[in-house]
Structure 1
Amino acid sequence: MRAMITMTAVAGLLAGLATAATAGERVTWRTCGDGIQCADVSVPVDWARPNGPRTSIGLAKLPARDQSRKLGPLVANLGGPGPTVQYLPQFKDSFAELTQWFDVIIFDPRGFGASQGVSCPTPAPVPDFAHWPPTERTPYERYAEANRHFAENCTPALGALRDKLNSWQGAHDLDAIRMALGERKLNYYGNSFGTVYAQNYVELFGDKVNRMYLDSVFDHSNRDHRSWAMSGALVAEGNLHRFAKWAEREPTSALHGRDVLATWDRVIAAAEREPIPAPGAEPGRVVTASEIVSLAPSGFEAAWPDFAKALAQADKGDATLFATQRRGAKDPDLSRIALCSDFPYDVSYDGLKRVESDVQARAPRVGYRLVWLMGYHCAGLPKIGVYPPKPIKAKNLPPILVASGTYDDATTPEHAKRVSAQLPGSRYLSAEGGHAQYWGGRNACVRDRVHRYLTSGELPAPGSHCAA
């Protein structure tokens, strides 16, 4: 903790050293296919020792359509933390409108993908979802031990980056990108974890910001894990109620005309008494109450019809559709090491159980599972190179635009509002929908407000809301 406080106290001095360390370096672009240009920016491994060993940050550029009339570069990070440069050909159309005005420049965080990426020799573990959210200590502590071994095995591959993956380092990398682009001020678009770099950037380099748009804010200003998790839990619980209303009224729903919440409660109670057989899956497969909770629908409405079928079938004693339901892709292995350096909350079994107890009082059916999000990532990991959440103290900022989807339980409206309130002159834009309103949701109203802001500085009126 003393090391973290010291870093904060000398931030101004180190920002000056950072400038000296990168002054004179400029980006050299190369063609890398699909109309995309790539480049690398050399940065210190440790910004507290700017003359020490170096690593590189990988960039990918979608050039502005009209280079003679462009407004400059818009630097973007889409979250994770993880690599996105390699996927840009697949989602570049999401940013086509922005190339009317900007060179859109995506970067991979240090240690990932194009940024002199690190590959851990063994994959990060995945918990046994029959016991997740955990109801007993032993499965959780077994998972924590596996996660600890994963991190230890990755140490040689990380080398000097082992304890240098936090967002304090990342914010300095972002400023190095600005300087390498030859820009006096930064235009930035941060999505999800990309907003964590921004929250630290505005404190360290607030006078270097021109325009900044933050979408689906991952709040790095809240030290209290209980309230941090509570906001997500309440949104998740609300999403279950939204699903129930849809399933009751939708004629094509397998639960049409039924009391869906009563059905949910009945299925969970049955699974708690004895796991429900899944005869259509592998022999002997059963499904626990924890597994059903872990699969509960979020704000992603496209999954609701299948979930209604699974719940109706389980109510008849057959959990096959739960047992065979595909889960989302696992985050890149290194992401948990980077994320947990910025969120070193207490993820002991006892600590999370205490938080869960408080959260269950207000989010008893599914919301409490959000308490275990940090446990999933951080259980057993060593607390090294940490830069914990803290209130944002930013000065000399221009107005910043912050947006959030009302049904996003991972980066909630409460997170966005909390961060926005700490950015003088900022404006919060509410939007109906889930995660990544500009990029993933492609909400036309949000896009219009973002374009106006980025091109002219025009903010939405206070209290503005974008419908789905």
Structure 2
Amino acid sequence: MIPDTSAPPSTESPAPDTEGVAADLLPFYGQELDWSTCGDGFDCTTVTAPLDWADPSVGEVELSVIRSRATSGEAIGSLLTNPGGPGASGVGLIRDSLTYAVGESVREQFDVIGFDPRGVGESTAVRCFDAPEMDAYLFDIPENRRGTDAWAEELRERHAAFAEACDAHSDGIIPFITTENSARDMDLLRAVLGDRELNYLGYSYGTFLGATYAKLFPDKVGRLVLDGAVDPAISNLEVDVVQGIGFESALRAYMADCLEGSDCPFRGTVDGAMADLGTLLAGVDRDPLPAADGRELGADSLMTGIVAALYAEESWPYLSLALQGALEGDPETAFLLADFYYDREGGEYLSNQTEAFRTYNCMDYPTEATPDEIAAARARLAEEAPTVAPYWFGANPCADWPYPPTGVREPITAEGAAPIVVVGTTNDPATPYEWSVSLADQLASGVLITREGEGHTGYNKGNACVDEAVEAYLLEGTVPQGNITCD
């Protein structure tokens, strides 16, 4: 959606904020931005950041930035945004989906900023496989039977080859693609945009990025909205389990809705329909369905398509079409959903989001789970998410990552930060509601807005109560008086 272009074109920004900046960082914080128009109502620029914030002399990365100027013509400041992932393009979010990212009143008052974090998209990016190799990695059916030691070893070899390719093709940046470095990049962006405090709207993984910023720079926190929160204190294993349970819950909600309609591919009760879906998954796992492009739809790719459709209630009709097709031996719609998940179109990958996703997660999450902990996690998932569980866990994709993780998993309190608003949706499958509750509780200044409903994230999704509370906070600084619930 092209924004209102009534604001006059401008290639200028306020003077950078360099107060208190160390001498070795002044060349970065003192950058003057060179904006150029990049579409009606948009300006683009590139910001240079240190490759290693601990040693700025090591090298540099480039950060791609896009700006939608305040339609009022007089911005109250910049609002940085992040769509999540990790690995999703913030430039693409603003350029292609501005009205989805922020409401009209926010676009009117703020210069809305999108940026590709380090490692992502149009910034200095992680590179791993070309398209045919990526297709084989993501879609090829394993030769060995699911659950066997040979199957696990086959998957591990695939992950190891992917990790090796990322290291070989990414020009030495892999060890520095971390959320902490990206949060420090955000402070640089804040400063070169001329803002003394950071105003920020982060979705999904973007909440972890925003919370990390608040931990590192509590005195620079302006108005932060963290929507669809990631709990920074839980392990990668716990993330996997809770997400699996979340998608099972969303799948049951889809099924209940589906069974009320005349076009549902299932009949009977929710429990019965879930059992029938389990039979379908087992069937394509045993006998994959050939597609016109040569790929075969097995249970893993079908589950990817199911997950993709559960992010938004508006996608449920496509899920019905995909499942009906699979029941009839036609995998094409299921592959369309899986391709959407991987940002694939026409046999090409439109972004590097899969590579960046893996890199951030392998660098951010320690992987010290014991065999007993893994067994307990699998047992819990099997009990609480029986349809999803058989297709949720495989070999650890970070087991053979070329660099040890540098991230930590711990509560974030951000003592001294201004109020921070957390938004959680009660049946969000990707970032389950309990994570938003946990993050709001951890943050010393956290306030929780609860959206009762389905789908991933809560702001600008059609709930007036949520939207009004978020926008009153962003535009006027009005902090919700205690936690509020919006049905």
Query: Of 119, 122, 125, which aligns to 2:127?
Result: 119
Quick one: which amino acid aligns to residue 168 of structure 1?
A: E
SS in 2 for 1:253: coil
For residues 188-213 of structure 1, the C-alpha deviation after alignment (integer angstroms, 9 at most, x for no partner) is 11112222221211111011101101
The residue number in structure 2 matching 1:381 is: 401
Distance 1:303 1:451, change over 3 A: closer
Is 1:339 the counterpart of 2:351? The answer is: no
SS in 2 for 1:459: coil
Question: Is this contact kept in 2: 1:44–1:53, CA < 8 A?
Answer: yes
The residue number in structure 1 matching 2:457 is: 436
The residue number in structure 2 matching 1:265 is: 275
Aligned length: 445
Distance 1:137 1:290, change over 3 A: farther
Distance in 2, Cα, partners of 1:347 & 1:319 = 41
Question: Is this contact kept in 2: 1:77–1:189, CA < 8 A?
Answer: yes
User: TM-score, structure 1 length as denominator?
Assistant: 0.82
Question: Is this contact kept in 1: 2:142–2:151, CA < 8 A?
Answer: no
The residue number in structure 1 matching 2:9 is: none
Quick one: which amino acid aligns to residue 454 of structure 2?
A: G
Distance in 1, Cα, partners of 2:141 & 2:221 = 43
Distance in 1, Cα, partners of 2:449 & 2:434 = 12
The residue number in structure 2 matching 1:365 is: 387
The residue number in structure 1 matching 2:79 is: 74
Structure 1 residues 66-465: aligned runs within 5 Å: 66-68=72-74, 70-82=75-87, 83-86=89-92, 88-94=94-100, 95=102, 97=104, 98-120=106-128, 122=130, 123-124=133-134, 125-126=137-138, 128=140, 134-223=146-235, 225-256=236-267, 258-266=268-276, 268=278, 272=282, 295-296=305-306, 298=310, 300-305=312-317, 307-308=319-320, 318=327, 320-321=329-330, 325-326=334-335, 327=338, 328-330=340-342, 331-345=353-367, 352-366=374-388, 369-371=391-393, 378=398, 380-431=400-451, 432-438=453-459, 441-465=461-485
Distance in 2, Cα, partners of 1:466 & 1:393 = 25
Query: Of 48, 51, 57, which aligns to 2:57?
Result: 51
Question: Is this contact kept in 2: 1:231–1:414, CA < 8 A?
Answer: no
Distance 1:47 1:460, change over 3 A: same
Listed as ranges, the gaps of 5+ residues in structure 2 are: 1-19, 343-352
Distance in 2, Cα, partners of 1:65 & 1:283 = 45
Across the aligned residues of Structure 1 and Structure 2, the Cα RMSD in angstroms comes to 3.6
Distance in 2, Cα, partners of 1:226 & 1:121 = 26
Quick one: which amino acid aligns to residue 88 of structure 1?
A: I
Distance in 2, Cα, partners of 1:319 & 1:346 = 43
Distance in 2, Cα, partners of 1:270 & 1:102 = 49
The alpha-carbon deviation at position 400 of structure 1 amounts to 0.5
Quick one: which amino acid aligns to residue 249 of structure 1?
A: E
SS in 2 for 1:110: coil
The alpha-carbon deviation at position 179 of structure 1 amounts to 1.3
Distance 1:319 1:44, change over 3 A: same
Distance 1:286 1:24, change over 3 A: closer
Distance in 2, Cα, partners of 1:92 & 1:312 = 33
- What fraction of aligned residue pairs are identical, expressed as a percent? 27
The residue number in structure 2 matching 1:5 is: none
Distance in 2, Cα, partners of 1:319 & 1:140 = 30
User: TM-score, structure 2 length as denominator?
Assistant: 0.79
Distance in 1, Cα, partners of 2:474 & 2:166 = 40
Distance in 2, Cα, partners of 1:38 & 1:274 = 46
For residues 425-450 of structure 1, the C-alpha deviation after alignment (integer angstroms, 9 at most, x for no partner) is 211111123113335x3544322221
Distance in 2, Cα, partners of 1:363 & 1:239 = 11
Distance in 1, Cα, partners of 2:46 & 2:259 = 53
